[in-house]
């Protein structure tokens, strides 16, 4: 028997609204700094390490020279919930993937709780929603109450029984996802199977305009270089006073969203024009990015940025997560004794 993680992310609107915003928002806004619990620094470092390892694994598992778009926060949150239900070697393997390295589960849950509750209200000019839910089989195995309580209390998760043999089960979950992503993701599931025991879902929605927007009349055709040739695309351009770091290997530019204190987009441009974008992306890690962020300095720069709209999906994350070290969770040796009162090997993802 299996439980499934239809991990959903609505980051497309973030990119579209960011790139297409042509008017500066001068309305008053409110920004609130995060009030994080003790032990958060270690968890944040772990999640950052996970982000780069996961992205590099995606590059390896999908070597096609196409654009990649992933949300490590969404995957990390979903796996954190799964981690609470795992036991023994399965639990250890997920801890390895999450880069916890001795970080306590209490600290992990406390930080997730703080982020889920505080990030949506951090900037009144940005709309963000982090939603979690667990749907478990009606009339079948019942999850351990302690596990469900953790999901409700620390992840603000909705927990609900559902008849997976019913033709309406998939549409019920899809409706929840559509509601939480402002109808950007509508048909995540085609169907459910009567043998399914659980669906664990995370959905993130972000909608924000840049604090310093490009003007529409400064958008002109330009040449974009990509593997295999060039293509003409509309380029946005503008002179802005933003934070920049000129590293020997790449240039990093910070473009703030909303009120300018809570959310930012970082653009990294390799210094070596002959370096492939795949090699450049694979070379990035937490240490390099942290170093560049610490050296950001405010200056006036002229920015040229292609205007684009993009979506990317991973139909099956098992190869990616398995390559990172948690294959045991997908096989007959999986142990989710902290989620269900069943012998090891009864359930797998």
Residue-wise pLDDT for 269-318, tens only, equals 999 988 888 888 888 898 999 999 999 999 999 999 999 888 888 889 99
Lowest-pLDDT choice from 43-57, 83-97, 307-321: 307-321
With the C-alpha atoms ordered 144, 149, 155, 161, is the resulting torsion angle positive or negative?
positive
Per cent of the chain over pLDDT 90 is 70
Give the CATH number of the domain where residue 163 resides. Answer: 3.30.497.10
Q: Same structural domain for residues 129 and 198?
A: yes
Phi-psi region of 276 (alpha: psi -120 to 50; beta: other; left: phi over 0): beta
Q: Same structural domain for residues 162 and 285?
A: no
Q: Same structural domain for residues 261 and 186?
A: no
Lowest-pLDDT choice from 199-203, 283-287, 335-339: 283-287
Q: Same structural domain for residues 126 and 66?
A: yes
Both tokens of 302, joined, read 């002229």
Q: Same structural domain for residues 113 and 169?
A: yes
Q: Same structural domain for residues 102 and 154?
A: yes
Provide the greatest CA pair distance for the chain: 65
Identify the burial level of 131 via C-beta atoms within 10 angstroms of its C-beta, where 0-12 means exposed, 13-18 middle and 19 or more buried: buried
**Nearest-angstrom CA–CA distance, 79 and 73:** 10
Total number of domains constituting the chain: 2
Both tokens of 282, joined, read 């694979």
Q: Same structural domain for residues 175 and 198?
A: yes
Q: Identify whether the C-beta of residue 310 lies closer than 8 Å to the C-beta of residue 13.
A: no
Q: Same structural domain for residues 122 and 38?
A: yes
Lowest-pLDDT choice from 10-19, 128-137, 204-213, 266-275: 10-19
Instruction: State how beta strands 198-207 and 8-10 pair.
Output: parallel
**Is the pLDDT higher at 264 or at 24?**
264
Q: Same structural domain for residues 109 and 191?
A: yes
Write the CA distances from 94 to 130, 186, 250, 326, integer angstroms. Answer: 22, 29, 33, 6
Closest CA to 69 of 80, 79, 54, 81: 54
Mean pLDDT value across the chain: 88
Q: Same structural domain for residues 220 and 323?
A: no
Q: Answer yes or no: is 335 within a domain.
A: no
Q: Answer yes or no: is 70 within a domain.
A: yes
Mean pLDDT along residues 145-170: 97
Q: Same structural domain for residues 176 and 229?
A: no
Q: Answer yes or no: is 343 within a domain.
A: no
Q: Answer yes or no: is 348 within a domain.
A: no
Residue 9 pLDDT exceeds 70: no
pLDDT score for 11: 26
Q: Same structural domain for residues 108 and 54?
A: yes
pLDDT score for 41: 95
Q: Which domain holds residue 247?
A: 216-306
Assign 334 to helix, strand or coil. Answer: coil
Phi/psi for 38 (5° steps) reads -60, 145
């Amino acid at each position: 028997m299996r439980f499934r993680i239809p991990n959903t992310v609505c980051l497309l609107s973030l990119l579209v609204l960011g790139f297409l915003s042509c008017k500066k928002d001068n309305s008053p806004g409110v920004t609130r700094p995060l009030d994080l619990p003790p032990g958060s620094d270690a968890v944040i470092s772990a999640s950052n390490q996970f982000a780069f390892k996961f992205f590099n694994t995606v590059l390896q598992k999908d070597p096609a020279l196409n654009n990649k778009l992933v949300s490590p926060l969404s995957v990390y949150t979903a796996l954190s919930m799964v981690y609470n239900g795992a036991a023994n070697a399965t639990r250890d393997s997920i801890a390895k993937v999450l880069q916890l390295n001795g970080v306590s589960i209490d600290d992990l849950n406390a930080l997730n709780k703080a982020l889920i509750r505080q990030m949506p209200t951090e900037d009144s000019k940005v709309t963000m929603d982090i939603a979690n839910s667990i749907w478990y089989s009606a009339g079948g195995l019942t999850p351990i109450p302690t596990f469900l309580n953790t999901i409700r209390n620390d992840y603000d998760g909705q927990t609900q029984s559902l008849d997976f043999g019913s033709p309406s089960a998939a549409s019920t979950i899809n409706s929840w996802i559509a509601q939480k992503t402002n109808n950007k993701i509508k048909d995540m599931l085609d169907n459910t199977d009567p043998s399914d025991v659980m669906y664990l879902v995370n959905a993130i929605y972000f909608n924000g305009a840049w604090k310093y927007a490009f003007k529409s009349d400064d958008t002109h055709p330009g040449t974009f270089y990509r593997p295999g040739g060039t293509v003409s695309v509309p380029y946005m351009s503008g002179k802005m006073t933003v934070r920049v770091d000129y590293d020997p290997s790449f240039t990093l530019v910070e473009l703030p969203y909303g009120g300018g204190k809570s959310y930012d987009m970082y653009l990294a441009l390799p210094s070596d024009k002959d370096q492939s974008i795949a090699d450049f992306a694979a070379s990035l890690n937490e240490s390099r990015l942290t170093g560049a962020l610490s050296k950001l300095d405010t200056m006036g720069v002229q920015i040229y940025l292609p205007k684009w709209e993009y979506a990317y999906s991973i139909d099956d994350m098992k190869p990616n997560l398995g390559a990172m070290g948690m294959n045991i969770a997908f096989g007959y040796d999986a142990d989710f004794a902290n989620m269900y009162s069943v012998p090891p090997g009864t359930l797998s993802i």
